[in-house]
Amino acid sequence: MPTATDAATGLVLLERRASAAFVTLNRPDAANALSKGLVAELEGAFAQLAADVKRGSDVRAVVVTGAGKAFSAGADLKERRTMSLEETWGFLDELNRLMNAVAAFPRPVIAAINGAAFGGGLELALACDIRIAADTAEMGLTEVRLGVIPGAGGTARLARIASVAAAKEMILTGRRVRAQRAYALGLVSDVVPAAGLADAAAKLADEIAAAGPLATAAAKRAIDEGAALPLADALALEAACYEEVLASEDRNEGLAAFAEKRPPAFKGR
Ligand code: COA
């Protein structure tokens, strides 16, 4: 069963299944809108998981999803109305800290987009490494319709993940697109029947969990940091990341398992 995080108000549920951790946004009555409380608990959950990884726990992939019908309706617009400009800036800082922590999490993070993902909700999914969506899901960076722009990484990440053209189409219109259109634009890498989304995410997490954890972490870093570099620098970074795994026990285990025709038992060292 899912357990609430330490903050114990239950706005985020953390569940371990085998080597994967499932993080569930749990404010279904408010379409999982990102209130201050929910953002603080999400940050707490990722900090706790990062500490677990550092201590050597075998968390090898994380799945983020939403309880109820929505993934997340984005900023809590009711709460936002009560904030001063200064408070709004402070909250945006915190939101960006959360997105950056998800993006830099030392294991692959999968967004399982179960329903509406708008504004900050979609930005959270964009901070993840892989996105899969229920065929009933809708997505949008709808901020311009509220007279603002995405402020938690949306302009930068969507343009890099999909394309500048897709980012402009989505962000300048603020339109909501269905999952299949999101797939065509390159926002999500798979669309599955809604009833099968949790299983599809778990299967993806299991696939990642079966791989060498040092290798997936090094590859994630090489891709993310390399994407912003000129090719020669990106190749040098890839070589540096390769060097980290070359000296690992996991690399020897991978070769031994191949020779012995058995699945490898990676230990993350
Ligand atoms: N902030 C605060 N509360 C929100 C919210 C948000 N972003 N989005 C939804 N809610 C609340 C609704 O006000 C409603 O609360 P109520 O029952 O007290 O009225 C509750 O969540 C459920 O929403 P509802 O619209 O009744 O559910 P739905 O399933 O028909 O639609 C959405 C869900 C997400 C499609 C719809 O609520 C929506 O479009 N929300 C706005 C999304 C948005 O524009 N986000 C901002 C991005 S910048």
pLDDT digits (tens, 9 = 90+) for 74-91: 999 999 999 999 999 999
| Residue 71 CA to ligand 1 centre (angstroms) | 11
Q: What are the C-alpha distances in Å from 206 to residues 8, 18, 110, 268?
A: 28, 8, 11, 16
**Confidence band for 1, pLDDT divided at 50, 70 and 90:** very low
What are the residue ranges of helices labelled H in 128-230? Answer: 154-161, 164-173, 179-185, 197-209, 213-226
Ligand 1 within 6 A of CB of 78: yes
Residue 4 pLDDT > 70: no
Give phi and psi for 44, each to the nearest 5: -60, -45
In the block, tokens 């990884």 appear at: 53
Is the distance from the beta carbon of residue 118 to the nearest atom of ligand 1 less than 6 Å? yes
25, 118, 126, 141, best to mutate for ligand 1 pocket (most atoms within 8 Å of CB): 118
Of residues 21, 33, 25, the one with CA closest to residue 81: 33
Is residue 225 among the annotated active site residues? no
Q: Rounded distance, CA 12 to CA 154, Å?
A: 22
Q: Is 226's pLDDT higher than 50?
A: yes
pLDDT exceeds cutoff 70 at 8:
no
Q: Which helix (H) or strand (E) holds 3?
A: strand 3-4
Q: Give the pLDDT score at 9.
A: 74
Which of ligand 1's atoms lies nearest the C-alpha of 30?
21
This prediction has a pTM of: 0.96
Q: pLDDT at position 36, please?
A: 96
Taking each helix axis from N to C end, the angle separating 85-103 and 120-127, rounded to the nearest 10 degrees, works out to 30
pLDDT of residue 6: 46
Minimum mean pLDDT range among 2-16, 31-45, 145-159, 161-175: 2-16
pLDDT band (50, 70, 90) for residue 3: low
Predicted confidence band of residue 18 (pLDDT cuts 50, 70, 90)? confident
Is residue 243 classed as helix, strand or coil in its secondary structure? helix
Cβ–ligand 1 distance for 16 under 6 Å, the answer no
Ligand 1 pocket residue status of 116, Cβ below 6 Å: yes
The pLDDT tens digits for 227-237 are 999 999 999 99
Share above pLDDT 70 across residues of the chain, in percent, rounded to a whole number:
97
Q: What's the Rg (C-alpha) of the chain? A: 19
Give me ligand 1 centre to Cα 72, in Å: 9
The fraction of the chain above a pLDDT of 90, given in percent, is 93
pLDDT digits (tens, 9 = 90+) for 25-43: 999 999 999 999 999 999 9
- pLDDT reading at 49 higher than 80: yes
Residue nearest (by alpha carbon) to ligand 1 atom 16: 30
Instruction: Tell me the CB-side half-sphere exposure of residue 193, using CA atoms within 13 A.
Output: 2
Q: Chain-wide mean pLDDT for the chain?
A: 95
Question: Which among 143, 243, 244, 253 is annotated as catalytic?
Answer: 143
73 CA distance to ligand 1 middle (Å): 6
For residue 143, indicate whether it is catalytic: yes
CB 237 within 8 A of CB 222: yes
Q: Of 11, 35, 77, which is best to mutate to test ligand 1, by the most ligand atoms within 8 angstroms of its C-beta?
A: 77
Is 140 exposed, middle or buried, given 0-12, 13-18 or 19+ CB atoms closer than 10 A?
buried
